[in-house]
Amino acid sequence: MNYLILPPIAFLIVLGVVIFQARMMKKFAAQGKPSEGKNKAYACGEAGCEHHIQPDYRQFFPFAFFFTIMHVVVLVVATVPVDFVSNVIAGIYVLSAIVGLLILFRR
């Protein structure tokens, strides 16, 4: 019974279950003739409009980048082992992240 938890065997079992489910769900999929509005945009009960707004993400990017850098720095520093060399390397990592953030938010 321990053979069932081996990764290749477990993968094949899960793959078989997924293929079986996909074939069973094909019976429930919408079948029919293509209609005129089938490929039109539709969201939240409203038909799609002809004009599209393209938002500018240039103002959003620095904040997303800041968020990512800070979370990676916290994760790395929190998992550093407690010895002098690791603490020095973590300190250098934090200083380089601070320099990167200063460059990011320079005016």
Interval 2-45: pLDDT, tens:
888 889 999 999 999 999 999 999 888 777 777 776 677 766 66
Q: Is residue 14 part of a domain?
A: no
CB atoms within 10 A of CB 17: 10
d(CA 63, CA 104): 9
Classify residue 4: in a domain, yes or no: no
3-state secondary structure 65-101: HHHHHHHHHHHHHHCCCCCHHHHHHHHHHHHHHHHHH
pLDDT, tens digit (0-9, with 9 covering 90-100), for 41-70: 766 666 666 666 777 888 888 888 889 988
The three-state secondary structure class of 7 is helix
Contacts of 87 (CB under 8 A, 6+ apart): 80
Parent domain of 73: 57-107
Task: Examine residue 19 and state whether it is found in any structural domain, yes or no.
Answer: no
Asked if the structure places residue 71 within a domain, the reply is yes
On the question of pLDDT at 79 being above 80, the answer is yes
**Domain count along the chain:** 1
pTM over 0.75: no
